[in-house]
Amino acid sequence: MLTQKRLENLRPRSKTFRIADTRGLCVEVRSQTGLRCWRFRYRFAGRAKMLGLGTWPAVSLAEARKRCADARELLARGIDPSRDRKEARQAQDLTLEAVAREWLDHRQVAPATLEKDRWLLEDLALPALGRRPVGAITPAEILDLLRGLEQAGKLETAQRLRATLSRVFRYAVSTQHAPGDPTSALRGALRSPRAKHHAAITDPRQLGDLLRALHGYTGTPVVVAALQLSPLLFVRPGELRQAEWAEIDFDQALWRIPAARMKMRRDHLVPLSRQALGILRGLAPLTGRGKYVFPGARSLMRPMSENTVNVALRSLGYSKEQMTAHGFRTTASTFLHEQGFRTDVIERQLAHQERNAVKDAYNRAEYLEDRQRMMQAWADYLDSIRAGG
């Protein structure tokens, strides 16, 4: 076995040579320079291998023996110490950009959500931190980036970027590319933006005026239908504009929206009133041969733009402070509650998530008939106030 004194007395020779210590550990003395390098010689899968453990005296004899013992422990668990070190170095060198792009590739969300994630990362985060090793990024670096957005008055963007980066780092942890999520230390460090509420009409007379304006709109048949269905169905604007004919069941009077397009990632059923079915049947001869119920003006292969309904509302004289496409949801919720419909039935139709998983499954099974009655009553009420009732 090697001793401290023997290590001190080793001198270089014409050729590099090694002197064994114990259990595979040896010291390699380089020719000419006399550099003393620790080596662990072992066999893995029937092949002779060697692992460097540092140089003496920076790594002492005791430390070299400890590193050798650690490598032997990996061997006992069926792990190649050389491969383990290589993977650790690769993980340490993997950049935030590489992990972020891998996370985006594996993300299974609606196209609009994916596009927002991509924008937050590619335009805001990666220019500043993209080349940094993902496992070495500190909370202070991220906070500095988010503070810049705060100072520019973009409080909501800063919050969303923090949340998106947190998802990327959690993915890095799960793939063993980072030791932890540095954004978790920033909770409460950012200013919260004021809650924004979508403008909506909640007065019956004003709603009657709006409905008469919608039915008097002189735009294209596709936009007319989208405008008239918005208050009847009160789904999210993105769900409406991306509606596909294959999802419409005229026989059952149901619109089945797949989970991939829903905010809460769950299938959603929209009962279709007689009025809604009439609008859809009138539109079918125009767009029914294509994929989308509301195709875009430039291409039948794409849905209409996300601002189409809002633009139509502006053309009718309603400002964004008065009414928005999303505001039809608030309008419906307000009136339906006032008319005595049960909150859980209304919330289910709004596709809001039930926090209790058992109750959520029960709601999906039990509330459909209630929702069908509610949606027909709602359509009849809209007809009534549009007529001046």
Instruction: Convert 232-262 to b/e letters by CB count within 10 Å (16 or more is b).
Output: bbbbbbbbbbbbbeeebeeeebbbebeeebb
Catalytic-residue membership of 348: no
- Please give the class, per CATH, of domain 96-186: mainly alpha
**Nearby residues of 2 by Cβ (< 8 Å), 6 or more positions away:** 19, 21, 27, 61
Catalytic-residue membership of 352: yes
CA 258 → CA 31, 264, 268, 273, distances in Å? 71, 11, 7, 20
Which of the residue ranges 81-85, 196-200, 377-381 would you say has the lowest mean pLDDT? Answer: 196-200
Tokens 């503070």 -> residue: 147
Q: How far apart are CA 305 and CA 355, in angstroms?
A: 32
Residue tagged active-site, from 65, 236, 241, 348: 236
Residue tagged active-site, from 326, 348, 371, 386: 326
Catalytic-residue membership of 326: yes
DSSP conformational letter for 295: B
Q: How far apart are CA 275 and CA 213, in angstroms?
A: 17
Mean pLDDT on 54-83: 90
CB 296 within 8 A of CB 290: no
Highest mean pLDDT among 107-111, 160-164, 191-195: 160-164
Q: How far apart are CA 235 and CA 240, in angstroms?
A: 6
User: What are the domain boundaries of the chain?
Assistant: 4-83, 96-186, 204-386
Does domain 204-386 correspond to CATH entry 3.30.70.330?
no
Report the percent of the chain where pLDDT is more than 90: 52
pLDDT the model gives residue 221: 94
Strand 25-29 relative to strand 47-56, pairing: unpaired
Catalytic-residue membership of 177: no
Kindly tell me if the per-residue pLDDT of 381 is higher than 50: yes
Strand 254-257 relative to strand 268-271, pairing: antiparallel
Structure tokens at 388: 């001046």
Kindly tell me if the per-residue pLDDT of 224 is higher than 50: yes
Catalytic-residue membership of 329: yes
Tokens 């069941």 -> residue: 249
Residue tagged active-site, from 72, 85, 132, 263: 263
Q: What is the pLDDT of residues 112-144, one digit of tens each?
A: 788 889 999 999 999 999 888 888 889 999 999
Q: What is the pLDDT of residues 169-196, one digit of tens each?
A: 999 888 878 888 998 888 777 776 554 5
**Residue 159 pLDDT level (bands cut at 50, 70, 90):** confident
CB 91 within 8 A of CB 135: yes
- Global pTM? 0.55
pLDDT the model gives residue 239: 92
pLDDT the model gives residue 253: 95
pLDDT the model gives residue 358: 47
Kindly tell me if the per-residue pLDDT of 260 is higher than 90: no
Mean pLDDT on 17-21: 91
Kindly tell me if the per-residue pLDDT of 64 is higher than 90: yes
Kindly tell me if the per-residue pLDDT of 155 is higher than 80: yes
Catalytic-residue membership of 194: no
Residue tagged active-site, from 160, 329, 371, 386: 329
**Residue 110 pLDDT level (bands cut at 50, 70, 90):** confident
Tokens 């929209």 -> residue: 270
Mean pLDDT on 359-364: 50
Mean pLDDT on 39-61: 90
What is the dotted CATH code of the domain comprising 4-83?
Answer: 3.30.160.390
Mean pLDDT on 226-252: 94
**Residue 242 pLDDT level (bands cut at 50, 70, 90):** very high
Mean pLDDT on 225-254: 94
Q: How far apart are CA 43 and CA 377, in angstroms?
A: 78
pLDDT the model gives residue 193: 59
Which of the residue ranges 16-25, 159-168, 185-194, 266-275 would you say has the lowest mean pLDDT? Answer: 185-194
Mean pLDDT on 346-366: 64
